[in-house]
Amino acid sequence: MTVNKSRGHNSIQAVLLLLTCLQQCQSSPHRHNSEPLLGVFKEITKYSDIAQQIIDLAVYGKAQNRSYERLALFTDTIGNRVSGSKNLDLAIKYMYNALTQDGLENVHLEPVKIPHWVRGKESAVMLQPRNHTLAILGLGSSVGTPPGGIEAEVLVVESFEELKKRASEAKGKIVVYNQPFVSYGETVAYRASGASEAAKVGAVASLIRSVTPFSINSPHTGWQWYQPGVAQIPTACITIEDAQMMGRMARRGQRIVVRLTMGAQTLPDVDSFNTVAEIRGSKHPEQVGCFLRLLRVTAHSVLISFDALHSIPLCCTALCCVTMLCFAGRGVACPVCCNCTSSVIRPHSGKVVLLSGHLDSWDVGQGAMDDGGGAVISWEALSLIKHLGLRPKRTLRAVLWSAEEPGGVGAAQYFQHHKANISNFDLVMESDLGTFRPLGLQFTGNDKARAIMKEVMKLLASINVTSLERNGEGTDINMWMQAGVPGASLHTADQRYFWFHHSDGDTMSFQNPEEMNLCSALWAVVAYVVADLEEMLPR
């Protein structure tokens, strides 16, 4: 077929005009109108009935205990899910199918590259002053030992400062860190960089007291990072009990010898996916929206018809969809959203409230607490809203991250793919500190946004979950908050979290269905109300 040249020329002009408009919309600063906060507060109070409907469904109704049962089935079926493993692949497929079967919208996978570290066989035995088997867990990204292991005398230190003072004693030895637990944020430095600090003074390996305040002879793993230009030595965590025992022996002047064997290795990065599901928004304010139908693509011309709608295409950005029409027309997945395989690109709202947790875990335990619970309540929040037939003005998007444990790898790539649309992200939420009894939220945003969020939290008074603390946190949303997007993290009574964190103890046995009901209700109420307010949160 020959395309009419004038019609083709006009269509191309229309595409260029659309692209210009979209770029202007996306580059314009985030605006919030001058409506007094009292007006917003009044608007929020109108959601009290809807909030109570969500609470009743999650806590007392048909969805009672559903998030717990979903988490139990998921973790019992798949088990742990370390980055790069076949189990993580199975987990992603499981969740994709579950989200689809639940009837959520725009369920799709967004490709990422993630690390693939394998633990291998590992053991540690104290040979002197007596024979004793040490419980260990190698740390992520650690190198292995030679096949016969490493047998060396031990130097016990309690801090990096002590290691520096005793640097002359460290050459050829295994450094054992017996650092006290102060807080996770402070003490985790020993796990993260203990190996490199020990290597700088000539150590041949390092063993690090597990970063936890409580132990029943249980080692806790985690990721560690080698510093550039520093020799890479094997490193693992040991239990509090064994670290303290060797500390006592060292203070008595006893010679300690340990044989360490580790088969750890880092393999090439592998393909993985962030898993995404949505409830599409009913309204798309402040942007040009269109429904694009690909009629013909040739090497020389593009012919597109435009039907005015209050929406934009399905991809992460309207700009992306226009530029990727040729992919859609050939039935090839859009490289960004992986879902535009139809020649007709479906509409959805460009404004987003994002809820999230991560699917990967460590290769011990079940990964129920870290972070199966966070992933499941993000799914459950959308289920609750769908069940009630609610559709907010802006899109609710649940993202289940891949490869958080190696440093937020999947989330960092998602940010790079979507940051051009940063002004469309209303609020980013992450649950990654357990789904225990909720207290409220931790929040990062300006004073006006904080005031609005405090009013939203009052809608949860019936379940006594109204606290709004400062400093939202989460590896997977930090980059958004640093870029100015308001962010919130689930705040729970998490005193026991680091008891089981990254250990064999992270199982369903420490999940409570009633607490998960409350977490799901909180997650759903906050996400829905923020997504449905007339104005986005100010920033």
Instruction: Catalogue the active-site residues.
Output: 404
Asked if 393 contacts 424 with a C-beta cutoff of 8 angstroms, the reply is no
Please tell me whether residue 333 adopts helix, strand or coil conformation: coil
Tokens matching residue 363? 């290769």
Torsion of CA 97, 103, 106, 109, to 10 degrees: -10
Asked if 525 contacts 513 with a C-beta cutoff of 8 angstroms, the reply is no
Pairing of strands 174-177, 265-279: unpaired
Q: Report how far residue 505's alpha carbon sits from residue 364's, in angstroms, rounded to the nearest whole number.
A: 8
Tokens matching residue 524? 């759903």
Q: What is the DSSP letter of 173?
A: S
Residue given tokens 């307010």 in the structure block = 533
Q: Count the residues in the chain.
A: 539
Write out the E strands in 255-322: 257-262, 265-279, 290-297, 302-308, 312-313
The b-or-e profile of 4-36 (16+ CB within 10 A means b, else e) is eeeebeebeeebeebeeebeebbeeeeeeeeee
CA atoms within 13 A on the CB side of 435: 38
In Å, how far are 187, 236, 245 from 209, measured between CA atoms? 10, 9, 11
Asked if 246 contacts 142 with a C-beta cutoff of 8 angstroms, the reply is no
Q: Report how far residue 529's alpha carbon sits from residue 532's, in angstroms, rounded to the nearest whole number.
A: 5
Is the dihedral angle over the CA atoms 509, 512, 513, 516 positive or is it negative? negative
In Å, how far are 213, 337, 489 from 183, measured between CA atoms? 8, 39, 19
Residue given tokens 């139908």 in the structure block = 293
Write out the E strands in 46-197: 105-118, 122-128, 132-134, 136-138, 150-157, 174-177
Q: What are phi and psi of 289, to 5 degrees?
A: -120, 150
